[in-house]
Amino acid sequence: MPTPTSPTRPVLIAGAGIGGLTAALALTRRGVPVAVYERRPAGEITMAGSGLTIWSNATTALGTLGLADRLLARGEAVRGGTSVDEHERVIYRMRTARYTWPGSVPSVSISRGDLIGLLISACEEAGVPLHTGVRCVGYEQGPDGVVMKLDDGRAVRGSCLIGADGIRSAVLAQLHGGLPQPLYTGRSTYRGISPTAEGLAPGTVYMFHHGGTRVGGGAWHVGGGRVAWTLSCVTEPGQREDPVLLKKRATELARPLPGLPSRLVAATAAEAVIRTDIHYHDWRERWGDGRVTLLGDAAHAMPTDLGQGACQAIEDAVVLADALASHDDPVAALRAYEQRRVPRVRWVREQVMRLVRWPQIDHRVVKWLVTKVVAPAVIAVKQRSLWRELQRPPLPFGSRPGTGGTR
């Protein structure tokens, strides 16, 4: 007779991004067998992106898996953020570390490659089977299991299927009868990692904005003296440059910001500059059906403002593992997971969408008043309640057996 923590068939996970790998590790730590299937070849998994901020809600979730020390060793602890104008005058400061929860792990800024590498190492140590270079193309459900179909013609059986396969998820597409078209934010980002800090102190997320060109962005340490930077601009979707021209374009965008942003772009190798149009999904509350559910961007891809996309994928993963480890019936477990996660993610997304919909003002004086007076005043009043709630850890502290606690 299978027990809740040892089903006869593994939980199948489509996608080895931040969400899929965290789910695989969390489930394995709770004694639930898993198998992960990732479309990219093994050598390419750690090669994506530049730098991420992983806020305390998510570092604390990773802490329950015993990863806090590795995160802090690879990345850089974050105390808060500073927003400056084009003349490097401070508009406001955010003191996010003040609004973390007692006993939680500090927020960390880290390169995406280092975070994925750290998760893969932990999965390997835990014995997680990771199959690379195979794409999930669909699934079939039966009364006692689910079959995931792969693009190499194989069909693998499991107790349930987790679609952690990102914004263009094959699992989401089948669940909703076709892939919902990702929405374009109207902004594209140029990103890179400078090997030198160019004077930026560690511990602060430095945010900058140029009112005239509407170029904005940020810079933050990602460990080892390196600084990740991003420059975003308003542009039509789908435009592409030749990769050799990306640094040139980033240099042009940074020109009206002659201080730190320009220096960081100049210090970055041309081949290390990447570009991404920022997309997201309409909000959907139906994440699953029967033995299938979604996690991370597949369930709730959101714009990058507030830096909570990967954090919410990590929260999903530990809550999902908690639900599957504590229910006999996987179908009941998946619905319990969705019930716990949907209200939380809906709230986080609402905060993000408020920022995205912040009105663009063209009148020079009104713009000055809003940017220099109204916005800092609103942020001063609201930052405590916003960051306190954003950084709420998804599980009670110290309650996970065999997980190494929160630190």
Ligand X SMILES: Cc1cc2nc3c(=O)[nH]c(=O)nc-3n(C[C@H](O)[C@H](O)[C@H](O)COP(=O)(O)OP(=O)(O)OC[C@H]3O[C@@H](n4cnc5c(N)ncnc54)[C@H](O)[C@@H]3O)c2cc1C
Binding site residues, ligand X, CB under 6 A:
14-20, 37-40, 52-54, 135-136, 164-166, 170, 189, 276, 278, 296-297, 304, 307-311, 313
Query: Minimum distance between the CB of residue 345 and ligand X, rounded to whole angstroms?
Result: 11
Q: Which is nearer to ligand X, 282 or 362 (CB)?
A: 282
Q: How far is CA 11 from CA 157, 315, 341, in A?
A: 9, 18, 19
Q: Whole-number minimum distance, CB 231 to ligand X, in Å? A: 11
Burial of 322 (0-12, 13-18, 19+ CB in 10 A): buried
Q: How far is the CB of 388 from ligand X (least distance, A)?
A: 18
SS3 state of residue 263: helix
DSSP secondary structure letter of residue 322: H
What is the CB neighbour count within 10 angstroms for residue 114?
Answer: 21
Task: State the nearest-atom distance from the C-beta of 208 to ligand X, in Å.
Answer: 16
The Cα–Cα gap between 328 and 308 comes to 31
Write the CB contacts of 42 (distance below 8 Å, at least 6 apart in sequence).
130, 132, 133
Write out the E strands in 4-144: 11-14, 34-38, 51-54, 76-78, 80-84, 90-94, 107-111, 130-132, 136-142
Name the minimum Å distance from CB 165 to ligand X: 4
Nearer to ligand X, 14 or 160 (CB): 14
Cβ-based neighbours of 186, under 8 Å, separated by 6 or more: 234, 235, 237
Nearer to ligand X, 4 or 202 (CB): 202
Task: Name the residue nearer to ligand X (CB basis): 150 or 197.
Answer: 150
Closer of 39 and 291 to ligand X (Cβ): 39
Q: How many helices (H) and strands (E) does the chain have?
A: 12, 18
In order, the DSSP letters of 349-370 are: HHHHHHHHTPPP---HHHHHHI
Q: Which two tokens stand for residue 231?
A: 């420059």
* Closer residue to ligand X (CB): 53 or 383: 53
CB nearer to ligand X: give 39 or 226: 39
- Taking the complex as a whole, the smallest distance from the CB of residue 116 to ligand X amounts, in Å, to 8
Closest separation between CB of residue 245 and ligand X, Å? Answer: 19
CB nearer to ligand X: give 114 or 165.
Answer: 165
Least Cβ distance, residue 39 to ligand X (angstroms): 4
How far is 130 from 124, CA to CA, in rounded Å? 8
* C-alpha pair distances (Å), 233 with each of 14, 202, 217, 362: 33, 25, 9, 16
End-to-end CA distance of the chain: 36
Shortest reach from residue 228's CB to ligand X, in Å: 9
CB of 21: closest distance to ligand X in angstroms? 8
Question: Which of 27, 278 has the CB closer to ligand X?
Answer: 278
| Structural contact between residues 165 and 171, judged by C-beta atoms closer than 8 angstroms | yes
Q: Which is nearer to ligand X, 4 or 180 (CB)?
A: 180
What is the DSSP code (8-state) at residue 152? T
Give how far the C-alpha of residue 253 lies from the chain's centroid of Cα atoms, to the nearest Å. 25
